[in-house]
Copies of this chain bind each other. A is one copy, B any other.
Amino acid sequence: MGTTTGRRERLRAETTAEIKKVALGLMSSGGPDAITLRAIAREMGMTANAIYGYFATRDDLVTTLISDVYTSLADAVDAARDARPADDPAGRIAAWANAFRDWALTNPEGFRLIYGDPVPGYQAPETSAAPEAEHRVCAGLTGLAAGAWPHAKELYPEAEFEWSDFDPKLAAEVREEFPGLPPAAVAIALRIWGHLHGLVSLEIYGHMRVQTPRPDKIYRAELAQLIRGLGLPA
């Protein structure tokens, strides 16, 4: 029966999943630095070298983890955004942004893994470690900008950007999903990404709390100004 070869594959998949699970556990308890092949193996009752049967190198494992974690972030923000109706662009933006910060505060080590120097000596592959998830995040943000664009277009100069200013794949997807949307809206999306990423990043890495005990208040003010700056009703 073909199930026998299926069995091996299943065992293999289970072990792979356990490696990743243990690695994520180590990360959340001891930070990304705690992701070591030896520690994972110890926890699993194996030898470190056994892991090489599943991942060619430690960086390979880390890249996979980044992709998984980034996907979970993308899922979280997408879900929060889609819980609001499409005719409430301000609410969708606020939901997305709050989900982003909440996810980061809940998974600070994951945030560092995705956006920081993930692990000692890690070299990211040429193409980004999680291009697909990062792409989803940007596309989702552009969707938010698209929802706000009818209000925002009066406030922004359209002429400054061209489609060639963006990654071809991103541009193509946006033009297909939101026909008529100008490239300037994608620029807005990237700028919003930068704003939110910056505030959350400073908070996660401890730079914000030195200046203010209420980073949440700063973030809320940011949201209010963001929505106002897009010409949306509160």
Contact = CB atoms under 8 A, between A and B. Distances in A.
B195 A195 contact: yes
A201 B207 CA distance: 14
Contact of A218 (B190, B201, B206): B190
Contact of A160 (B115, B117, B193, B217): B217
A138 B191 contact: no
A210 B165 contact: no
Contacts of A190: 208, 211-212, 218
Interface stretch (A13-21, A42-50, A53-61, A221-229): A221-229
A33 B198 contact: no
B221 A191 contact: yes
A26 interface: no
Contact of A202 (B127, B167, B194, B205): B194
B217 A225 contact: no
Copies in the complex: 2
User: How many A residues are at the interface, by size bracket?
Assistant: 35 or more
B212 A167 contact: yes
A6 interface: no
Given A194-B218, A221-B191, A222-B194, A205 B33 contact: no
A106 interface: no
A129 B154 CA distance: 44
B199 A194 contact: yes
Contacts of A201: 115, 197-198, 201
25 contacts: A32-B117, A33-B117, A112-B117, A115-B205, A115-B207, A117-B117, A119-B120, A120-B121, A138-B211, A156-B225, A161-B217, A161-B221, A165-B214, A165-B217, A166-B211, A187-B221, A190-B211, A191-B221, A191-B225, A194-B195, A194-B198, A194-B199, A194-B202, A196-B198, A201-B201
